[in-house]
Amino acid sequence: MPEEAAPAEPRGWRALVLGERTTPRGREADTAVIKAIRGTRDLLPPETAVWNFVEAEVRDLFRAYNFQEIRTPIFEETQLFARSVGEETDIVGKEMYSWEDRTRRDGERAQSLTLRPENTAGVVRAYIEHKLWERGLNKLYYIGPQFRRERPQKGRYRQFYQIGAEVIGPASAGSESAARDAEILELLATLLDRLGIEDWHLQLNSIGCSADRARYNEALQEALAPLAAKMCADCQRRAMRNPLRVFDCKVPEDQPRIETLPRMSQYLDEPCRKHFEQVQEILSAVGVPFALNDRLVRGLDYYTRTAFEFTHGALGAQNAILGGGRYDGLSELLGGPKAPGIGFAIGEDRLVLALNRPAESVQRKPDVYIAPLGPGMNSEAARLARELRCHPIVAELGDESFRLKKSFETATKLGARYILIVGEKEVKSDAFALKNLESGEQVLVPRTELPPRLRS
């Protein structure tokens, strides 16, 4: 393996990386407290219990729909995102964390790498790299962090988490069917209902195939020609290069002009129109409510045909809880075979916000607090804890240096259901005092009967 060249040490490197500063007494380490980077955050217990609850429910549901997990790297070649998400999108144009990797001694060129801003591109790359078409239809899901340099606010972070899924395969495996779109949308409605999230709204659109898009882009360009000069710089550039992206504009003054532009629904060809009708038909048959929104184009270039977003009332400005759609041409765009696909990504941070569930309601508290009383009892308590945890009982261990009062206080604070006293007398008789901290009832329980008693 060729070794990596040692990086040249740029001026000020130590100061930047180690935080050293020069003082009259020489070089001193900076002892200022280091905080998490803006837009990133620590997820702490007990809140992590809610995240675990959501992820367990999601995995359970994915199993019911026959999805399997895929894990792709957190960083990829920058090109992957530029080619799939699109150079004119906000994500690629403004929000990616990219860097030049070091040049290697073997002369291989430095690569531009990027922290993934989304996961669909990585999944399709993996589909091509591992010839996943040989498996027929792939139903894949992922849970993990994504990175975008956005202005942080509630519900919008620079490191955020997505729960996503992709259904991709050769057309012969049914990947193009409207039944796949409807199944994905029904899965999402079921998930939100199952988590107890009310007040969600599904907005649905079809943005057609590439031929429709070409005709629509032409119409947009024509309509934008007399308007663009009065619009923002992004719109002016997009009007020339990728007119569909004009719909991503957030500048309030541009909105009345954007409102006058032609609508995608007028440019769908017959097969795309039929496909979209079928999606709607199945959704109505399974009872998933939706609203049509022909201004919904999604902020990524790879979409074709069905595009959708679920919004939620309680999320304020960042009200898109999830988004997705079809990307029938993406595999070919990345050098692979034709592989129609559809997928979605839920913003997990936003899902947890919308869930608004107290951690206490999903957190498993200790079943028992084991209190060793007196010197030499730590080993015996550890032995008992090991036995009980196999059953599986959630056990917390105290320390022999604690007095009985402190053990009771700690057990109560932790919310344990029982406290188990491990003293010399108990060890000798192999029976232990077990107190129910709710009812106050205390009984002497032989060692072998502890597991069933604690589980009951």
Longest dimension (CA), the chain: 93
Query: Between the CA of residue 453 and those of 2, 368, 371, 431, what are the distances in Å?
Result: 61, 11, 17, 13
DSSP state for residue 261 in the 8-state scheme: S
**ω into 10 cis (within 30 of 0):** no
Name the one range near ligand HAM by CB under 6 A: 67-75, 168-176, 345-353, 405-413.
Answer: 345-353
Q: Pick between residue 306 and residue 407 the one whose CB is nearest to ligand HAM.
A: 306
Selected from 321, 411, 420, 445, the binder of ligand HAM by CB under 6 A is 321
Question: Closest-CB residue for ligand HAM?
Answer: 347
> Using CA atoms, how far apart are residues 27 and 22, in angstroms rounded to an integer?
5
CB of 302 to ligand HAM, least distance (A): 8
What is the dihedral sign for C-alpha 339, 268, 117, 334?
Answer: positive
Selected from 336, 343, 366, 398, the binder of ligand HAM by CB under 6 A is 343
User: Rule CB under 6 A: is residue 162 a binding residue for ligand HAM?
Assistant: yes
CB of 234 to ligand HAM, least distance (A): 17
10 Å CB burial of residue 144 (0-12, 13-18, 19+) is: middle
Name the one range near ligand HAM by CB under 6 A: 10-18, 189-197, 208-216, 342-350.
Answer: 342-350
Selected from 116, 125, 139, 148, the binder of ligand HAM by CB under 6 A is 148
Measured at the CA of 207, the angle between CA 202 and CA 210, to 5 degrees, comes to 150
> Using CA atoms, how far apart are residues 346 and 148, in angstroms rounded to an integer?
15
Selected from 86, 164, 170, 340, the binder of ligand HAM by CB under 6 A is 164
DSSP state for residue 2 in the 8-state scheme: P
Q: Which alpha helices (H) appear in 233-314, and where do they start and end?
A: 233-241, 255-259, 270-286
Residues 103-132 interacting with ligand HAM (rule: CB under 6 A): 118-120
User: Rule CB under 6 A: is residue 157 a binding residue for ligand HAM?
Assistant: yes
Selected from 320, 395, 422, 427, the binder of ligand HAM by CB under 6 A is 320
Q: Pick between residue 21 and residue 94 the one whose CB is nearest to ligand HAM.
A: 94
Residues that bind ligand HAM (CB under 6 A): 118-120, 148, 150, 156-157, 160, 162, 164, 166, 299-300, 320-325, 343-345, 347, 349-350
